[in-house]
């Protein structure tokens, strides 16, 4: 496992001991990231097996300290349990700042406010990172490196309290963004929850396809449907908790779908519709946040043999061509695949010539 880059010593100062409640993928990955930086971490989970596996992955110790010892408590449980556990941990750990990593913030905050608990030591947060996998066995300390970690402070939080949660994110290698709870939920509905549902819809539509037709599937549809393989129980909780914002997004998609159905018979209007998608996709930005630039794909055949991909990357490096993006597509009929390498248009010819001269097969 690769740890995050060394943290600023000022961020490490007095961050621990840390208690992580919930040793699934996110909780265990946070533990691995913190322990790799020398932070003292302890684990708690309703499932002893989860805690044991997470500890074996380097996420922290199983032993529990005196409740007043912890300086930071991280609640990394399923969304429906977060509010009750946060309220409980605020009572049990009087010297700790308590945060959670749930992907929905406003409903958690509303539940907490209804308990009447003193929330001055509670600061919500949400690391925008994860995989389609679950459980501590897939935990990785680098999961949050260069990813966004949203912190959602309240007006009654002291600067010191908020800074402790921001420090947590930085030590894990993440970029910190500060938002209110409502704005956070609107944002994740736009950039996370709706895209997940679009993946679900695409995957669900495949149930109507003939098996022989599925043999034509390429890398594009696999990319689109990858997140549809995520755990349904967790996403049921997330979407239910953020249903108001998600419903608003889906209503917009319905309007766009009606528009698309209406322009299918008019090539000019259809192209205008397609351009809307292109414009929206480009608004996400390119590498390192730069403006997206046009690229050309050079598609190279890769044999399914040890070291082939490493050798290909070495040849691309020797060609002196900067890679803007890449993707891999597998050939279902034989032991080979294709690497699509996106480069600046002016360098595509140079790369094709170099790869051909060095024995690589190219696909036009």
List the 175-178 sheet strands across, edge first: 124-127, 148-152, 175-178
Task: Tell me the mean pLDDT per 10 residues along the chain, length 364.
Answer: 74 87 94 94 93 93 95 93 95 96 94 93 92 78 93 95 95 95 95 94 92 84 85 89 95 96 95 91 64 69 77 78 64 65 78 81 73
What is the value of pTM for the model shown?
A: 0.76
If asked whether residues 200 and 54 sit together in one domain, one would say: no
Specify which residues 72 forms β-bridges with: 18, 97
Strand 296-303 with 362-363, pairing: antiparallel
In the prediction, which pLDDT does 172 show?
Answer: 95
If asked whether residues 169 and 234 sit together in one domain, one would say: no
Residue 46, number of CB atoms within 10 A of its CB: 11
What SS3 class is residue 77?
A: coil
The b/e string for 131-156 (b: 16+ C-beta within 10 A; e otherwise) is eeeebbebbbbbbbbebbbbbbbbee
If asked whether residues 222 and 356 sit together in one domain, one would say: no
In the prediction, which pLDDT does 278 show?
Answer: 86
Q: Which of these three, 178, 197, 225, is where a domain ends?
A: 178
Q: Which of these three, 178, 198, 218, is where a domain ends?
A: 178
If asked whether residues 307 and 347 sit together in one domain, one would say: yes
Does 1 reside within a domain? no
The DSSP letter of residue 251 is H
The DSSP letter of residue 62 is S
In the prediction, which pLDDT does 288 show?
Answer: 46
Q: Which of these three, 127, 152, 178, is where a domain ends?
A: 178
Contact residues for 10 (Cβ-Cβ < 8 A; gap 6+)? none
Contact residues for 308 (Cβ-Cβ < 8 A; gap 6+)? 302
The b/e string for 257-292 (b: 16+ C-beta within 10 A; e otherwise) is eeeeeeeeeeeeeeeeeeeeeeeeeeeeeeeeeeee
If asked whether residues 54 and 203 sit together in one domain, one would say: no
Does 287 reside within a domain? no
Q: Do the Cβ atoms of 72 and 34 come closer than 8 Å?
A: no
Q: Name the token pair of 254.
A: 């319905």
If asked whether residues 36 and 76 sit together in one domain, one would say: yes
In the prediction, which pLDDT does 133 show?
Answer: 64
Identify the domain containing residue 309 by its residue range: 294-361
């Amino acid at each position: 496992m690769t740890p995050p880059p060394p943290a600023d010593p000022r961020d490490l100062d007095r961050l621990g001991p840390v208690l992580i409640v919930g040793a699934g993928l996110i909780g265990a990955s946070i533990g691995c990231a913190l322990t790799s930086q020398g932070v003292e971490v302890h684990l708690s989970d309703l499932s002893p097996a989860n805690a044991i596996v997470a500890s074996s992955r380097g996420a922290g110790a199983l032993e529990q300290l005196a409740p007043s010892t912890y300086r930071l408590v991280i609640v990394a449980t399923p969304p429906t349990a977060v509010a009750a556990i946060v309220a409980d941990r605020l009572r049990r750990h009087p010297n700790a700042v308590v945060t959670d990593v749930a992907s929905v913030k406003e409903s958690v905050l509303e539940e907490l406010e209804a308990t009447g608990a003193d929330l001055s030591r509670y600061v919500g947060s949400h690391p925008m990172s994860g995989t389609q996998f679950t459980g501590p066995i897939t935990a990785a300390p680098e999961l949050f490196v260069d990813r966004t970690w949203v912190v959602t402070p309240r007006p009654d939080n002291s600067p010191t309290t908020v800074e402790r949660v921001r420090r947590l994110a930085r030590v894990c290698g993440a970029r910190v963004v500060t938002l209110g709870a409502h704005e956070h939920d609107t944002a994740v509905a736009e950039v996370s929850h709706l895209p997940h549902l679009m993946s679900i819809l695409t995957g669900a539509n495949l149930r109507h396809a003939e098996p022989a037709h599925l043999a034509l599937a390429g890398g594009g549809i696999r990319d689109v449907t990858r997140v549809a393989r995520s755990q349904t129980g967790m996403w049921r909780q997330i979407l239910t908790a953020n249903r108001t914002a998600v419903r608003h997004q889906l209503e917009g998609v319905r309007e766009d779908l009606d528009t698309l159905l209406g322009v299918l018979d008019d090539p000019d209007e259809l192209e205008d519709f397609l351009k809307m998608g292109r414009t929206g996709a480009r608004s996400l930005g390119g590498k390192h946040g730069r403006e997206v630039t046009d690229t050309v794909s050079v598609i190279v055949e890769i044999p399914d043999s040890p070291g082939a991909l490493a050798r290909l990357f070495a040849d691309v490096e020797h060609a002196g061509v900067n890679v803007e993006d890449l993707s891999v597509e597998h050939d279902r009929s034989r032991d080979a695949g294709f690497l699509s390498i996106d480069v600046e248009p002016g360098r595509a010819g140079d790369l094709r010539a170099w790869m051909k001269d060095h024995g690589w097969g190219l696909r036009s």
